[in-house]
């Protein structure tokens, strides 16, 4: 197994530069990974209320979307894994072919089947869910 270590320069109080492994630096700063930003905590639960931006979907699919997305966010770190879990569960429960985008910053223009589209936020994380024909 090959391991590479990245270095960055960190100025010390004596104005000389110290060579510190990048991984050590990341331990001392707050993580900016999606996992640390949206894993559930007591304080975070209020932020998890769904904020529906646009919906053309039946009531039962609406409820499923929010429940499945909440579980996926709690179970996974990466947005791609969250999207994959939502897609797989929707394909299984409501038939193929569902498409999902999960993230904080994205733009999209999609064509969807009638009554098969939903765009909502859970906290700061957006979920765009639609069924392609």
Specify whether the CB–CB gap between 125 and 114 falls below 8 A: no
Could you tell me the CATH number of the domain that includes residue 111? 3.30.740.10
- Domain count along the chain: 1
Please give the mean pLDDT across all residues of the chain: 78
pLDDT > 50? residue 126: yes
Q: Is the pTM of this model over 0.85?
A: no
Q: What is the percent of the chain where pLDDT is above 90? A: 62
Q: How far apart are the first and last CA of the chain?
A: 45
CA-based nearest residue to 122, from 86, 69, 76: 69
Residue 27, in any domain of the structure = no
Q: In this predicted structure, what is the pLDDT of residue 48?
A: 73
Q: In this predicted structure, what is the pLDDT of residue 43?
A: 42
């Amino acid at each position: 197994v090959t391991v590479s270590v990245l270095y960055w320069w960190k100025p010390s109080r004596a104005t000389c530069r110290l060579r510190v492994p990048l991984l050590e630096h990341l331990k001392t700063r707050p993580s900016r990974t999606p996992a640390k930003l949206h894993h559930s905590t007591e304080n975070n639960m209020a932020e998890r209320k769904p904020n529906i931006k646009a919906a053309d979907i039946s009531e039962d699919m609406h409820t499923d979307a929010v429940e499945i997305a909440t579980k996926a966010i709690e179970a996974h770190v990466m947005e791609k894994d969250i999207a994959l879990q939502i897609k797989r569960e929707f394909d299984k429960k409501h038939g193929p072919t569902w498409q999902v985008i999960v993230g904080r910053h994205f733009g999209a223009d999609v064509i969807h089947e009638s009554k098969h589209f939903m765009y909502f936020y859970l906290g700061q994380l957006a979920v765009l869910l639609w069924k392609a024909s």
